[in-house]
Chains A and B, each alone.
Chain A
Amino acid sequence: MKRNSWIRKQGWVGYIFILPNMLGILAFFILPALYSFFMMFTDYQFANPNWTFTGLDNIQRLFGDDQFYASIKYTIIFLMSVPVSLAIAFLVALVLNRSVYLKGLLRGMFFLPYISSGVAVAFVWMLLFQPSQGPINEVLRFIGIVSPPGWFADSSSAMYAIDVVQIWFMLGYNMIIYLAALQEISTEQLEAARIDGAGKATITWRIVWPLVSPTTFMLLITGLIMTVKSFSLIQAITGGGPSGSTTILSLFVYKTAFSYYEMGYASTISWFLFAVILVITIIQWVGQKRWVHY
């Protein structure tokens, strides 16, 4: 007994427990991140190992780069999918939380896209959105739209078409979290409002919506972070095209690094991406206290 309490106090056991995982995190996350930070100030190119320190040149180049501003614009359009998906998810969760038949089946139907994420889904949507003969445009022509958009094939619509797929993809995830939040609302509160004569719409808007606001806020923040980092969907469908019109920040990093092999510059862009995430996270810290009703 004495020996064990000694172990607890000394606590070297704790280090043994976290050490194996810690080593991996160090080797594959922390050290690479530090190295990338260092490369931001060099002109490292993969083909040319003779790099030099360039100081803040990369950062200067970034802020003078038209592609950079374009990629910010496309990233913002991409991020618009987050609030839209949240709004739909909230409505679906409201209905599924009330009395419907086949709850499990319905939940599964909405959740399926999220789990089957990946390149396969991207290719299915590519064909659904096919401009000349694809089923989506067939339906649009059928209801009287003579020249429907070219979707992924057209640089003015490609980013919005990606939004549609992203909303579809994230909907089930957001809905599941909303369902969990709705189930935590006590029936007494709703009952009390009912007795006071509040109608369904009033209860939903004045009581339920404020009560789930921490969930909304959390989903908005994590959704923005997840979306700004995401890469696979767009890379598989358009590869950033047509004519760069879907090259969001994360793709801009990938292209700069692995199509042009400008590793130093790519590191700079990737740290800008980190700065975006950092800002969103700080907003979360500050905002939790100020805007969210508990």
Chain B
Amino acid sequence: MFRITKTRSVKLSVTILMLIAGLFMIVPFLWMLSTSFQTPSEVFRQWLPSKLDWTSHKRIWTGNYNFLPYYLNSIKIAVIGTAGAVFLSAFAAYGFARTEFKGRNTLFIVYLSMMMIPPQVVFVPKFILFNWLHIYNTHWALILPAMFSIFGVFMLRQFFLSIPNEITESALLDGAGHFRIFFKLVLPLAKPALATFAIIDFSWQWNDYENALVFLQSPKLYTIPLGLQNFVLENNVDYNGMMAASSAAIIPMILIFLLGQKYIIQGVSSSAVKG
């Protein structure tokens, strides 16, 4: 019965309806791009620029508000932070998934419960701790905590548990130690899961605004979110510039999304499974 009503024309009209709905989802991005290419007199008056005006984009990349240092800072923090998080999470996840030791389950429950603690609870103590360690207002204040991810341990533990026990068991019997099994067997098998976590974690760190806001002070250390905020605070009527700067902040993320869509969606789904 169902099959017969599901004609091609129904399918086509549903698709068109969804495309219109989807357009509403991406209109803010289109409007941002369009405005960034307009002249000041065109903003809010027309939807499309009369001709592509690159001045705002040029101003973002040259001039006083050069975005390049923010980019370099963000790349440095996100790359080191993600690399550390992937390795340290995988290491711990293997411990939780494949070895037995006293108190393992209790410790895991402690990890679980830590996810309930809102970041706002630890803002103030971290602020004091970083002052004391003399890393407040340095990139280390962002990189160091980012390398220890509770979510990463969860996600990768879940994946390691799905690797058949026989594989590691037989390697153990053949005389390999846990370290060799981890590096030579489990890590290569886990490449897709590691990539998924890496992309998700990278996007979090790239977009991290709260920690940067609390722990960075010198403009030369600013990451992209702070750089953008700085720009808007000082040029809050330069709408073209604001949109050009926003484009500069968003476009790398859109590119990463287009390249790693499969991994991102996988990672999002598996994060929800463990909630």
Are B123's CB and A127's CB within 8 A? no
Number of A-B pairs, beta carbon distance below 8 Å: 283
In the complex with contacts A24-B148, A229-B119, A128-B28 CB distance below 8 A = yes
Are A11's CB and B28's CB within 8 A? no
Chain B: minimal CB distance from A70 (Å) = 17
- Please measure, in the bound complex, the distance between the C-alpha atom of A168 and the C-alpha atom of B26, giving whole angstroms: 10
Are B272's CB and A177's CB within 8 A? yes
Chain A residues with CB under 8 A of B150? 25, 29
Chain A: minimal CB distance from B236 (Å) = 9
Chain B residues with CB under 8 A of A258? 123, 127, 214
- Interface: B100 (CB within 8 A): yes
- Interface: B163 (CB within 8 A): no
Are B44's CB and A101's CB within 8 A? no
Chain B residues with CB under 8 A of A222? 272, 275
- Interface: B39 (CB within 8 A): no
In the complex with contacts A194-B1, A273-B120, A29-B14 CB distance below 8 A = no
Are B44's CB and A135's CB within 8 A? yes
- Interface: A277 (CB within 8 A): yes
Q: Which residue of A lies closest to B108 (CB)?
A: A18
Stretch of A57-65, A77-85, A143-151, A249-257 with 4 or more beta carbons under 8 angstroms from chain B: A249-257
- Interface: A133 (CB within 8 A): yes
Contact of A133 among B44, B128, B145, B261 (CB under 8 A): B44
Q: Per-position contact with B for A1-37: 1 when CB-CB < 8 Å, else 0?
A: 1001101110111111110111011011111110110
Which secondary structure dominates chain B's binding surface?
helix
Q: Which residue of A lies closest to B200 (CB)?
A: A115
Chain B residues with CB under 8 A of A46? 127
Are B250's CB and A116's CB within 8 A? yes
Q: Per-position contact with A for B83-98: 1 when CB-CB < 8 Å, else 0?
A: 0000011011011100
- Interface: B99 (CB within 8 A): yes
Chain B residues with CB under 8 A of A13? 95, 99, 101, 177-179
- Interface: A39 (CB within 8 A): yes
- Interface: A207 (CB within 8 A): no
Name the interface residues of A121-140: CB closer than 8 Å to any CB of B: 121, 123-125, 127-128, 130, 133-135, 138
Chain A: minimal CB distance from B225 (Å) = 4
Q: Per-position contact with A for B173-210: 1 when CB-CB < 8 Å, else 0?
A: 10111110010000000000000000000010001011
Are A39's CB and B95's CB within 8 A? no
Q: Which 6 residue pairs spanning A and B have beta carbons closest together? A: A17-B95, A24-B148, A14-B101, A14-B99, A109-B22, A32-B125
What would be 28 A-B contacts, judged by CB atoms less than 8 Å apart?
A5-B172, A13-B95, A13-B99, A13-B179, A14-B101, A17-B95, A20-B92, A22-B107, A24-B145, A28-B148, A29-B150, A31-B125, A32-B126, A32-B129, A118-B207, A118-B225, A118-B249, A119-B228, A120-B247, A121-B246, A124-B246, A194-B2, A225-B116, A231-B119, A232-B207, A236-B209, A273-B120, A274-B117
A residues within 8 Å of B by Cβ?
A: 1, 4-5, 7-9, 11-18, 20-22, 24-25, 27-33, 35-36, 39, 46, 92, 95-96, 98-102, 105-121, 123-125, 127-128, 130, 133-135, 138, 168, 171-173, 176-177, 180, 194, 200, 218-219, 221-222, 225, 228-229, 231-232, 235-236, 250, 253-254, 257-258, 263, 266-267, 269-271, 273-274, 277-278, 281
